[in-house]
Structure 1
Amino acid sequence: MTVNANTVNIKSDEAYHHGDLRAAAIALGLEKLASQEVPDLGLRAIARELGVSATALYRHFAGKEALLEALAAEGIRQLGASQKAAAQRAGGGTAAFQATGVAYVEWAVANPALFALTFAGKTRPNLAMSDADGDENEAFRQLQAGISSVLPAMAPSADRASAAMHAWSLVHGLANLILAGQIDDDPQVIRSVVAHTFGLGGGAADCA
């Protein structure tokens, strides 16, 4: 879901069909996060750039916090979709698990502002515990599948939960270290570090 803010030129509330205004506001918010160093995500600013009244936008979002929550939900959905695609390309098993870890880091580095927003605020996703359906939980499902590929099915639930936390912590920490400039954004390094999770080894080739 992307939009070029320069192309948004809606001059009346009636120009949007039901639900379109909410989607347009989220799309514009994503564009601002991607292109502006200090984006103004206030509802009045979003409404002004969309060419609608603030009142119209408040029908879809109770306030700025509600918009930020919607953007965070889109972020976790995008992350999950990226990981799912990486797993499918890898063909399953431990190779797919490693690929989802690499995809996590790569998505975070490519979307730093959205990544930060996704894991901030009151509605932070809990990738290690949630088991709900829906696209917004695809990242969890990929983590769950990865744990299943490296731990026996009879492993205690506490061990599986700890393993999930371990894997999540590794890629999340690696992404933040890269974004902070502490580690170079080197694809080979990312693949090598992720490959060491749970002693899988195998080097970078397994995640290519």
Structure 2
Amino acid sequence: MSTSTNSPPYHHGDLRRALVDAALVMLEREGEAGLGLRDLARAVGVSPAAPYRHFDSRIALLETLAVIGFQKFTRMMASLQETTPDQKLSAMGRAYVLFALDNANLFRLMFSAQLKREGRPGLKMAADAAFETLQLVSGEGSGGRVAALAAWAKVHGLAVLLLDGQIAIRAGDDTEALIVEILGRNP
């Protein structure tokens, strides 16, 4: 018997995928603090113990979601490879900030202090791949670590300031145009 009143009981198929899909929805709706394995089991319509067959802890689930976020981000950044060199850095910055705004809770989870990359090879690999793609798209290649870090600090700082409401988007503001203008200015 299902403990869920919001969804039909889960009977067959890929339970891990169903758990991850439901967790991504819950994460965006309620944030990381609202995501528990029992609530997730209820949402999918399985027993409270079922998620533990796929995730040994809540942190393991959060790590999986962060990896998915980094993979999604990496694909998005890699798609900018075709941009002309003179527009590449601007396009990268704009895409980074828009990714953060469009995936606020996933973005926050990806960079959460509670998810340390040490001892989590899957998370470290996904985060490193994202940074390597950022480095390549920024035109700095593997030798331009400091330049890529500087670009990353700028776009990440802007994204966090916007997410935290420290930079207000006023009525009538074109968010994308504002992002491009801010990123185009020198400090």
2:89/2:137 contact within 8 Å kept: yes
Note if 1:164 corresponds to 2:160: no
Gaps of 5+ in 2: 170-174
Q: CA deviation at 1:27?
A: 0.9
| Cα pair distance change 1:184/1:122, threshold 3 Å | same
Q: CA deviation at 1:66?
A: 0.5
Per the normalisation by structure 1, the TM-score is 0.70
1:68/1:117 contact within 8 Å kept: yes
1:144/1:164 contact within 8 Å kept: yes
Per the normalisation by structure 2, the TM-score is 0.77
Q: CA deviation at 1:102?
A: 0.8
Instruction: Work out the CA distance in 1 between the residues paired with 2:137 and 2:154.
Output: 14
Residue in 2 that maps onto 1:122 = 115
Instruction: Work out the CA distance in 2 between the residues paired with 1:38 and 1:55.
Output: 20
Gaps of 5+ in 1: 200-208
Q: Which of 168, 179, 182 is the aligned partner of 1:190? A: 179
Note if 1:109 corresponds to 2:98: no
| Cα pair distance change 1:178/1:6, threshold 3 Å | farther
Query: What is the DSSP-based 3-state SS (H/G/I as helix, E as strand, rest coil) of the residue aligned with 1:54?
Result: coil
Q: CA deviation at 1:44?
A: 1.1
Identity, in percent, stands at: 34
Higher relative contact order (CA 8 A, sep 6+): 2
26-35 or 138-147, larger mean C-alpha shift: 138-147
Instruction: Work out the CA distance in 2 between the residues paired with 1:61 and 1:83.
Output: 29
183-192 or 46-55, larger mean C-alpha shift: 183-192
Q: How many residue pairs align between the two structures?
A: 174
